[in-house]
Each structure stands twice: as structure tokens, then as C-alpha cells.
Amino acid sequence: MISGPSGVGKGTLVRALLEIRPDLVYSISCTTRPRRRGETDGVDYRFVDPATFDRLVQEGAFLEFAEVFGHRYGTPAGPIVVALADGRDVILEIDVQGARSVRRAVPDAVLVFLVPPSEEELLRRLRGRRTEGEEQLARRLERAREELGDRSWFDHEVVNDEVERAAAQVAAIIDETRASDSAAPP
């Protein structure tokens, strides 16, 4: 699972990781937030209205769900269960709140915390998205500071200073985990 503060580059890193590791299954989250420029429904997220999201919650369809900055996000459990049953590794791109829920639900999940190279770079990335005003940016930066304080309970930490290097580091973590799991006695 890839997690970290808003603007750290989770989506960019996951896309790079899937380029070098096409054997991984990407878990597509549902969200009630509007689509950003360049996003595709069913590829980046499944964009749903609040009533549909409520129905999915009532049906127990999510591994985890949370509200983040006024929008709801949820990780559908079904595709993850199918992929794991097929012996495939699944990548979740998830916020810190969601990572905490997944840690409780799936204690043996491997959690990778993505860290920005600096606070200044994080702010530059957030501004570069051009999706929030200054007040919203300030809220996201404050939340990022809080989330950076939560990184100690993650299994691994990767600095996202250079996407290809960071993706290669995450791929190595996956390989190490896979090797240690296969070496463990049944």
C-alpha cells in the first residue's frame, strides 16, 4: 500500500511502479470528489455520486472508506480479494486515514509511506495542481504536517524526490516482502 500526504506524488509513483511491474494489480478507489483534469473514470478512480457511495457502504463493499477534505473515498474489497486469491500482489494508493483502517483490517499488509523531499517541494506540487485556493492549500499543508508525524507506524518510508528511483525502491520492497513470505515456513 502506498500512502502519504496529499500532493506527495502517490499517483505519479504508482503509475511509474506499474510501468516497471505490470504484474501488480492496481486497486481503483471510489470517490465522490469531482474529476480533475486528465483523470479517467475507471482508471484513476471510480467517480460516484454520494447516493451510490452510501449504497456501497451499506452493502459492505469497501475494505475501508473515509472522508477527506469534504469528499469521500473508499477501497472496494471485491477486486482485492479476487486478485489475492489468484496469487497476485495488489497496490493500493490511499491516504493516511485509510491506511490506518487497512492496517486494522489486514494486519499483514505492507505499508509504504511516501515522503516529500521537502515541505517547500510539497507546497510547490500542491500549487501546481491548481485545484485549490490558498485557504485550501493551507489546510492541506497543515494536514500533511500531521500525517508526516504518523509515519512511524508504516513498514517502510520512501522519499519521492525522483519518481523512477522511488518506484524502483518500492518494487524492491515488494520483491523483498515476496521473498521473505515464500521463505517462511507454512
Three-state secondary structure call for residue 163: helix
For residue 90, being part of any structural domain is answered with: yes
| Angle, vertex CA 155, rays to CA 183 and CA 153, nearest 5 | 145
| CA trace torsion 91, 171, 122, 141 (10° rounding) | 40
pLDDT the model gives residue 186: 53
pLDDT the model gives residue 184: 56
Measure the CA–CA gap between 95 and 152, rounded to whole angstroms.
Answer: 15
For residue 165, being part of any structural domain is answered with: yes
For residue 76, being part of any structural domain is answered with: yes
What is the count of structural domains for the chain? Answer: 1
- What is the DSSP code string of 93-125? EE-HHHHHHHHHH-TT---EEEE-S-HHHHHHH
pLDDT the model gives residue 136: 82
Burial (CB count within 10 angstroms: exposed 0-12, middle 13-18, buried 19+), residue 143: middle
Measure the CA–CA gap between 13 and 20, rounded to whole angstroms.
Answer: 11
pLDDT the model gives residue 1: 93
For residue 82, being part of any structural domain is answered with: yes
Among the residue ranges 52-56, 168-172, 177-181, the one predicted with the least confidence is 177-181
Percent of the chain residues past pLDDT 90, beyond the cut:
63
Q: H helices of the chain, where? A: 10-20, 50-58, 77-85, 96-105, 119-129, 134-148, 163-183
Measure the CA–CA gap between 72 and 65, rounded to whole angstroms.
Answer: 7
pLDDT in tens, 10-61: 999 999 999 999 999 999 999 999 998 889 999 989 999 999 999 999 999 9
| CA trace torsion 119, 31, 53, 67 (10° rounding) | 10
Using 50, 70 and 90 to split pLDDT, how confident is the model at 71? very high
pLDDT in tens, 124-157: 777 777 777 788 878 878 888 889 888 999 999 9
Q: Can you give the CATH number for the domain in which 154 is found?
A: 3.40.50.300
pLDDT the model gives residue 70: 87
For residue 186, being part of any structural domain is answered with: no
For residue 125, being part of any structural domain is answered with: yes
For residue 166, being part of any structural domain is answered with: yes
Query: At residue 185, does pLDDT exceed 60?
Result: no
Which domain, by its residues, includes 41? 2-178
pTM equals: 0.85
For residue 183, being part of any structural domain is answered with: no
